[in-house]
Structure 1
């Protein structure tokens, strides 16, 4: 007799499955970049992928919006808690978290790791990171914060550095 899962039962996701999902996402970005670059040039490819990724981030930022525009500590806690297999896949280093803002340095990124494994490097890798990294600007902006992060550039170690500051508060009437 076979067992059937109830609709409410969440399946266990393995690190291998999650890594595979990130690898597929990385390949999608990479192939989309190649197609758009061939048709429109590299700058336009980065712009278009970046805009789509920014919009995805805006959707994701809705769950963080209750912390906006100034609860940096709450934002940081929820953001870090929501990263699946965060230490293995991203290795975030929380460098700052106070009322003035948050800074997180990612030492790994499954997207970048996959692009490097595919032979992408230098300026091309930087462009892919920039386009994919727009997700953070969309996410933190939609949550009501100011995003000032940086994506990876040649010569740097690690990956993205997220810098988030409180957003504007409405003046009292």
Structure 2
């Protein structure tokens, strides 16, 4: 669904670049502006941050910005206690 590209995977982190996103495609079909699309993707990413937090991981999401290829980038690391 997201066509993730593995950027990094080791004992410290997993980093992925999403090549597709059904939310992004749906909003583009609704003819939102690139600025609106960027904001909508940022808002949607907060749910992913919460999910990773609840699962016990630290995560960073760099959401898509106008002019970029693909969609968001995700970095997941172990939460240090």
Please give the TM-score of this superposition, normalised by the length of structure 1. 0.45
Q: Counterparts of 1:121 and 1:156 in 2: how far apart (Å)?
A: 14
Q: Counterparts of 1:93 and 1:160 in 2: how far apart (Å)?
A: 11
Q: Higher helix share goes to which structure?
A: 1
Larger C-alpha radius of gyration, 1 or 2? 1
- 1:146-165, aligned counterparts within 5 Å? 146-165=58-77
Q: Higher strand share goes to which structure?
A: 2
Q: RMSD value over aligned CA atoms?
A: 1.0
Q: Counterparts of 1:155 and 1:108 in 2: how far apart (Å)?
A: 15
Please give the TM-score of this superposition, normalised by the length of structure 2. 0.91
Q: Which of 90, 104, 109 is the aligned partner of 2:21?
A: 109
Q: Which of 33, 36, 55 is the aligned partner of 1:124?
A: 36
- 1:72-91, aligned counterparts within 5 Å? 89-91=1-3
Q: Counterparts of 2:15 and 2:28 in 1: how far apart (Å)?
A: 25
CA apart distance, 1:98: 1.3
Q: Counterparts of 1:134 and 1:160 in 2: how far apart (Å)?
A: 12
Task: Specify the alignment match of 1:39 in structure 2.
Answer: none
- Runs of at least 5 residues in structure 1 that lack an aligned partner in the other structure: 1-88
Q: State the SS of the aligned residue for 2:42.
A: helix
CA apart distance, 1:121: 2.4
- 1:2-41, aligned counterparts within 5 Å? none
